[in-house]
A and B are shown apart, each in its own frame.
Chain A
Amino acid sequence: MKPGSKTDGLHLDAISIGLHGRTLLYLSAVVRPGDVLTVMGPSGSGKSALLAYLGGFLDPVFTANGRLSIDGSDLTGIPAENRRCGMLFQDPLLFPHLSVGGNLLFGLTPSIARHSQRRRMVEQALMDVELQGFFDRDPATLSGGQKARVALQRVMLSAPRFLLLDEPFSKLDSDLRQQTRALIFSTAKAAGLPVILVTHDIADAEAAGGRVVTIGEESGR
């Protein structure tokens, strides 16, 4: 499931977000397929609001302007469920009422309809992250690293057009953090997805290797 013309990338066109008449941030950027844009800033700087805006969930108390488009098609104003924007949070947020396989089937795009094929793709996705045989497991019994990998595969199976990462490594210890980071970035690169990463850890930004923008109080030169 690879989107057709992945040449142009993700365009953030003069995006500004305000709260109660105060402008929180202003941002223009282009993220090419496979590239990572890192957004840094202290808490309260509007990082989460930026991700919410890009994902299509911004609370109406915020005011937002600007255009978001991917590969030439405009995403501004498109409902969240039609944006195909994969999100990863600091918590894996696996659905506790579903099995590991159930979580992945939930994510897998409905364009694959045959039951047997869906099951096979999920098994393959588990194998890709060294979790073969985990289909029927209860997510609550997984380790932190295993959960993070399942969360990543759940997003990838939904055939996203771009990824939004909201400090997805901040709750992992340092060994695990490096592995997970490397896995996510290489997966995104292999799939040719533009990635926007929000973090306050400079090591994350360095590992991402792309452009870094800083927003909020610290950005005021």
Chain B
Amino acid sequence: MGRQTEDNRNWPQSKGTAMTRRFAVSGFVLALLGLPVLAGLAGTIGPAFGYLPAIGGNGFTFEHFAALATQPHLMRSSMVSLTAGIVATGISLVMVMLFTAGYAGTRMFSRIQHLVSPLLAVPHAAAAFGLAFLVAPSGLAMRLVSPGLTGYTSPPDWLVPQDPLGLTMIVGLVVKEMPFLFLVTLAALPQVPLAQTRHMTANLGYGRIRGFLIASWPLLYRQIRLPVFAVLAYTSSVVDMAMILGPALPAPLPVRLTQWMADSDLRMRFLASAGALLQLVLTMTAVAFWLIAERAGAFVLKRMSGSGIRQPDDRTIRRIACAAMAVSAAFVFLGVLVLFMWSVAGLWPFPSLLPHDITLQPWMRAFPQAVAPVVTTITLAGASAAAALLLAIGLLWQDDLRAGGALRFVLYLPLIVPQLCFVFGLQILGLALGLEASFLLLIFVHLIFVLPYVVLSLSQPWRAFDRRYETVAAGLGKSPLQILLRVRLPMLTRACLTAFAVGFAVSAGLYLPTLLIGAGRIVTITTEAVALSAGGDRRTIGVYALLQTLVPFIGFLIASLVPHLLFRDRRAMRI
């Protein structure tokens, strides 16, 4: 193993040529990601203070903030979003932390890993619908215990989902964000000497969890800190999940902002922009709170390691952590199952566990209208993921990410600034510049959100590539470009396809940017599905949410099947 690292250090890519291509791609990507975010923020800030000449705002005024302040229940809407963001991020992180602490390197770890990884492909909206159909008063969970245990023969009058405290929304966010945090943790694990540290702490008598938390977690956390902030920003400003699972009157702030933004009265843009700045403050508050929580956590860890307490038997915590991961995954899988059941259900009155009859009618009825959005979704996702893959390959090829710093941060910028804070501005800018909602513009906006995930997905296998293959090829007289095209990319076929599928899934599940930039004229299966949440026809929702899940799933299916077909006769390429 030591041998391997020595080789990787001594046999880098041809450096001289790397220097000359250094500037082009990274400068382009910096601009591609940085400029829209900054321009979008500017496009939000201007109208918030009354400046939007296109619709007659020329002055500088605080009146829109005053108007915002008079909106009913604004405080409540804000607090629900803020607490949901912090609590959901906290729970997800603690689950991942304790599970990794208790099981890293065991067979259970890889078992849960296989269970959790596919969850990333399930779009937020579909997961939310599935969860809603599970836990609603007339949902599958209640049917399981009714009327036997509860005595209910008609659904109880509970406000679930859409409970006023946003608890269902928090559960929904946890089941979707936990897999993301788990996967970034997995990606960071190889950079931490886990096994040696575990031996060392075990020899000193520390239990698995305590030993891990004291010796490995601080190193690991540093690696996943940016993704954690991305989760925090996302959960504190989420729109689609909040529409489906969050409280209704008042709705969480981001939902209300989106309604204002989509209002046909253009003057509502001022109010929406002022609200978007409030959202920015809200997310910054969440971040500030998180920074304090980090300090507190570090302090607790210090006390833990200073106390010398070993806590050798931590089976209970370990099992709880494992169960939490499994239950969280089960929620999503069962949710998809319930979606499927509803999509083929005929008559399905309340206490019955299963539908009385099966029918294809919901599919027959919904399908004709769903075809066009599905085609749009696939085209949009395919184009943005393909562009992102090309850019990601360019970035990694010129080896700039290793330098870290600015580029790594800018890569996360679209994920750390709440979507609506700059997508609002982008839409307003488009309005001011007289841009029509065009497919090309939408692809570009999707690319901003897709690229970070594609780079994250590809960079791990890219770095693990044995560079001696390139050395051999160069020794055989091949140029750097030939080596890229004929050695590295073919050998990384599977990793490239997986990165493409990840980007495809991100684009397919993207709600807010599609809604706002598409301006109602370009609709995807995701915007259509979320729009159905108001109507509440479970059978149609079932069909749409399933279609929404199937589209990214097919992307992953292709990514795993194609290498088998391409490399049918190459044993080493199929693992």
Contact = CB atoms under 8 A, between A and B. Distances in A.
B468 A93 contact: yes
B569 A81 contact: no
A57 B473 CA distance: 12
Interface string A41-54: 00110001101100
B14 A57 contact: yes
Given A89-B472, A97-B570, A81 B10 contact: no
B410 to A, nearest CB: 25
Contacts of A87: 471-472, 475
Interface in B517-575: 567, 569-573
Contact of A160 (B16, B469, B475): B475
Interface in B433-479: 466, 468-469, 471-479
Contacts of B471: 55, 57, 80, 87, 89
B114 interface: no
Interface stretch (B168-176, B273-281, B487-495): B487-495
Interface residues of B, number: 36
Interface in A70-118: 79-87, 89, 91, 93, 95-97, 99, 106-107, 109-110
A183 interface: no
Most buried by B among A57, A140, A141: A57
Contacts of B2: 43
A154 interface: yes
- Looking at A43, A48, A85, A97, the one whose CB has the most chain B CB atoms below 10 A away is A97
Contacts of A96: 491, 570, 572-573
Size range of the chain A interface in the assembly: 35 or more
Contacts of B476: 86, 106-107, 154-155, 158
Given A89-B468, A158-B475, A138 B7 contact: no
Contacts of A138: 569-572
Contacts of A43: 2-3, 6
Interface string B1-41: 01100110111101111000000000000000000000000
B480 interface: yes
A56 B570 contact: no
A48 B17 contact: no
Contacts of B573: 96-97
Contact of B7 (A48, A82, A83, A158): A48
B73 interface: no
A109 B480 CA distance: 16
Nearest to B479: A81
Query: Which residue, A84, A106, A155, has most C-beta atoms of chain B within 10 A?
Result: A106
Interface of A: 43-44, 48-49, 51-52, 55-61, 79-87, 89, 91, 93, 95-97, 99, 106-107, 109-110, 138-141, 154-155, 158, 160, 164
Interface of B: 2-3, 6-7, 9-12, 14-17, 466, 468-469, 471-480, 486-487, 490-491, 493, 567, 569-573
11 contacts: A48-B11, A56-B474, A60-B15, A79-B16, A81-B474, A95-B491, A96-B491, A96-B570, A106-B473, A141-B571, A158-B476
**6 residue pairs, one from A and one from B, having the closest CB atoms:** A96-B572, A140-B571, A80-B474, A140-B572, A87-B475, A48-B10
